[in-house]
Amino acid sequence: MDNNESEFEPKIVAFVCNWCTYAGADLTGTSRIKYATNVKIVRFPCTGRIDFMLLLKAFANGADGIIVSGCHPNDCHYTSGNFHARRRWIAFRHLLEIIGVDVRRIRFSWVSAAEGAKWGDLVNETVANIRELGPYTEYTKVAQYVEKEDNNE
């Protein structure tokens, strides 16, 4: 990487589906396309499985940015999970705005199993964007919110 020591290294978590994006990221590897080390992948069966509380949990634990990526519309292995994820994201981003989370810190994307290069680009772009936004220090607000939610359960 071309960044120097003093540069901010964001922590980014990627929530991806097993069938498209995880396989796409595998293809990035098989194609030996290089990308930044900042993004770490958590595998889900489907983007429809991704409870957006997990995104808050990630912020609460110090994530500077998040990627959510699954199959392209109509390509979902489970028919419609990605549509549910998309709808959830549309509703969730407004809630994030209300609690004061900068929605630019979440990148929502589709990467198919054939789009290894796209995954590399997506990672590098996201890292560059988050680096520009700087470290995410307001997460304590979210943490408090999540804690309150947890206690209510």
Partner 1 sequence: MSKIGVFICHCGENISATVDCQRVAEELSKVDGVAYSIDYKYMCSDPGQTLIKQAIKEHNLTGVVIGSCSPRMHELTFRKTCAEAGLNPYMCEIANLREHCSWVHEKGEATTEKAISLVKMLVEKVKKDHPLTSIQVPITKKALVIGGGIAGIQASLDIANCGHQVILIEKDPSIGGHMSQLSETFPTLDCSQCILTPRMVEVAQHPNITLYTYAELDSVEGSIGNFHVTIRLKAKSVDPKKCTGCGTCSSKCPQKKIPSEFNAGLGTRTAIYVPFPQAVPNKPVIDKEHCNYYQKGKCQLCKKVCPTDAIEFDKPDELLKEDVGAIVVTTGFNVLKTDFFPEYGYGKYKDVITGLQFERLASASGPTLGEIRRPSDGQIPKKIVFVACAGSRDPAKGIPYCSKICCMYTAKHAMLYQHKVHDGESYVFYMDVRAGGKNYEEFVRRAIEEDGVKYVRGRVARVYEKDGKLIVKGADTLLGGAPVEIEADMVVLATAGVSNNGAEQLAQKMHISYDSYKFFAEAHPKLRPVETNTAGIFLAGACQAPKDIPDTVSGASGAAVKVAGLFSQSMLVREPLIAVVNRCAPPLFSTCVGCFMCETACPYHAIEHEEIKNRNGDVIKTVAKVNPGLCQGCGTCVAFCRSKSIDIQGYTNEEMYAEVVSLLNN
Query: Which positions lie near partner 1, rule CB under 8 A?
Result: 1, 9, 11, 13, 18, 22-23, 25-30, 32-35, 37, 40-46, 48-52, 54, 57-58, 61-63, 77-81, 84, 88, 120, 153
> Which one, 3 or 134, has the nearer CB to partner 1?
3
> Which one, 80 or 134, has the nearer CB to partner 1?
80
CA distances from 19 to 36, 43, 107, 115 (A): 23, 10, 19, 12
Asked whether the CA dihedral 118, 45, 102, 13 is positive or negative, the reply is negative
> Which one, 57 or 103, has the nearer CB to partner 1?
57
Q: Nearest approach, Cβ of 9 to partner 1 (angstroms)?
A: 8
> Which one, 79 or 132, has the nearer CB to partner 1?
79
Query: Cα–Cα distance between 143 and 55 in angstroms, integer?
Result: 11
Nearest-10 crossing angle of helices 139-152, 53-60: 130
Of 107, 97, 90, 88, which is closest to residue 39 (Cα–Cα)? 107
Q: Nearest approach, Cβ of 11 to partner 1 (angstroms)?
A: 6
Q: Nearest approach, Cβ of 36 to partner 1 (angstroms)?
A: 8
